[in-house]
Amino acid sequence: MSSSSRAVARLSRVAGHIATSKPSTRLSSSSAAAIKMTHTRKHKVAIIGSGNWGSAIAKILAENTKQHTDIFEPEVRMWVFEEDYQLPSSHAAYSESEHSKPRKLSELINQLHENVKYLPGVPLPENLVADPSILSAVKDASLLIFNVPHQFVSKICDQINGNILPYARAISCIKGVDVSHEGISLFSDVIGRKLGIYCGALSGANIASEVALEKFSETTIAYDPPGTLTPLPEEFPVINHALWKSLFHRPYFHVSMIHDVAGTSLGGALKNVIAIAAGFVDGKGWGDNAKAAVMRVGILEMRKFGLMFFDSCKSETFTEESCGVADLITSCAGGRNHKCAKLSVLQKRPIEEIENEVLNGQKLQGTLTAKEVNEFLKARGKEDDFPLMTIVHKILIGQAKVEDIPHVI
């Protein structure tokens, strides 16, 4: 990004802060027109991952590449971790001759235009092509979207390294961050470093099943590349905020573009710890005042965490963006962390027991993050600066009681 366009973006942010409730870096239609006029090549889009959230995002990408054919190649390749799947005979498209035995998931997706295993019932655009070969999926793609379970990020990057365009740019839709006592890694940073490209981040109040059904929501995309990247050939439309917005924004999925990648990623991890606190309070029946108080203090602790440990973090990412305050609201309204914490108080049982019953063997993100964040803070002597996150961890390990929460906030 040039210094002059940085200045414009900064001014636009300041003006937005004062004078508009719309996301501050929404670009005008004239900027969008400017992208489209000076290029002779189009961007090819690949998405790595095809789970519930991956398929919902893939659907959005393919809808937009079909709509903006002046910027994007219509076809979007989606890498599918191949597996055999037996189509249920109750499926409308079931035919005895074709589906009496398990078939490859990628074939079923391409035949039925539906991810029958991970996003059943949602029609996918025909220009979205499932590809079981990751190298084939990313070939010639100048825009790479990552949406895989976080434990696979590193291995997948090793697989495709050297097989992507050196001037590709990426967005990670992987929720959260990787915290340990050693430090915090952003998945976008891991991807960027491993592949030698730049990767931004998408996060927001986005329950995948609701997005897939085109229920209205908002999201935040953070993208702030350094000036030292392999340059994009001039024949391509420039990859900037307006371009990413053209790729992700839908009438039912509103995108706010910002620069704060760390803040955008942190919100998706830390909110789970706060949602556990809110669940505890709800379990006690302390009412809506108390829950709102915990959420308010939670937003401020999340922000404090970001500002303390990441130079690039911005206060408003937490207090104003979908990836901050809105995602927290959603998670405290009905997310699984909130639900399990509430049940553990109501039933006076350890949260692990509830987790095992309710989540079918999956692990709660919030309890793990509370532990990891606590190790990270303890290693830096900063537990006392984050009393709410600290007491959540202490309650989880039996060293404090829910009744202690009001005393520390």
User: Measured between alpha carbons, how far is 324 from 303 in angstroms, rounded to an integer?
Assistant: 9
Q: Which residue has the tokens 């005008």?
A: 28
Q: Which residues pair with 222 in a beta bridge?
A: 201, 258
Residue 120 binding its own copies, by CB under 8 A: no
User: Measured between alpha carbons, how far is 241 from 232 in angstroms, rounded to an integer?
Assistant: 15
Q: Of residues 313-332, which lie at the interface with its own copies (CB under 8 A)? A: 315-316, 319-322, 325-327, 329-330
Residue 386 binding its own copies, by CB under 8 A: yes
Residue 254 binding its own copies, by CB under 8 A: yes
The residue type at 355: E
Among 334, 362, 397, 401, binds its own copies (CB under 8 A): 334
Of the two residues 102 and 287, which places its CB atom closer to its own copies in the complex?
287
User: Measured between alpha carbons, how far is 202 from 204 in angstroms, rounded to an integer?
Assistant: 7
Of the two residues 43 and 303, which places its CB atom closer to its own copies in the complex?
303
Q: Are 175 and 146 in contact (CB under 8 A)?
A: no
State residue 178 phi and psi, 5-degree precision.
-105, 110
Q: Are 331 and 338 in contact (CB under 8 A)?
A: yes
Give the DSSP letter string of 212-229.
Answer: HTT--EEEEEE----TTS
Q: Are 281 and 294 in contact (CB under 8 A)?
A: yes
Residue 346 binding its own copies, by CB under 8 A: no
Beta carbon of residue 57, minimum distance to its own copies (angstroms, whole number): 14
Stretch near its own copies under the rule CB under 8 A, chosen from 60-68, 87-95, 186-194, 283-291:
283-291
State residue 257 phi and psi, 5-degree precision.
-95, 130
Of the two residues 62 and 313, which places its CB atom closer to its own copies in the complex?
313
Known binding positions for substrate: 175, 336-337
Q: Of residues 196-215, which lie at the interface with its own copies (CB under 8 A)? A: 205-207, 210-211, 215
Residue 400 binding its own copies, by CB under 8 A: no
Going from the C-alpha of 110 to that of each of 91, 105, 156, the distances in angstroms are: 16, 9, 23
Of the two residues 292 and 379, which places its CB atom closer to its own copies in the complex?
292
Beta carbon of residue 114, minimum distance to its own copies (angstroms, whole number): 21
Of the two residues 1 and 307, which places its CB atom closer to its own copies in the complex?
307
Residue 131 binding its own copies, by CB under 8 A: no
Among 44, 241, 291, 339, binds its own copies (CB under 8 A): 291
Three-class secondary structure of residue 25 per DSSP: coil
For the record, the structure tokens of 400 come out as 């404090």
Among 1, 290, 358, 368, binds its own copies (CB under 8 A): 290
Closest C-alpha among 3, 140, 141, 133 to residue 80? 133
Residue 135 makes CB contacts below 8 A (sequence gap 6+) with 159, 160, 163
Among 308, 359, 379, 397, binds its own copies (CB under 8 A): 308
Beta carbon of residue 119, minimum distance to its own copies (angstroms, whole number): 16
Residue 387 binding its own copies, by CB under 8 A: yes
Catalytic residue among 42, 245, 271, 339: 271
Residue 292 binding its own copies, by CB under 8 A: yes
Give the DSSP letter string of 83-134.
Answer: -EE---TTSTT--HHHHSS-EEHHHHHHHHTS-TTTSTT----TTEEEES-H
Q: Which residues pair with 45 in a beta bridge?
A: 76, 143
Instruction: Note if 42 is an active site residue.
Output: no
Stated length of the chain: 409
Among 152, 286, 309, 310, binds its own copies (CB under 8 A): 286
Q: List active site positions.
A: 271
Interacting residues with its own copies (CB under 8 A):
17-22, 205-207, 210-211, 215-218, 251-252, 254, 281, 286-293, 295-297, 299-301, 303-304, 307-308, 315-316, 319-322, 325-327, 329-330, 333-334, 385-388, 405-407, 409
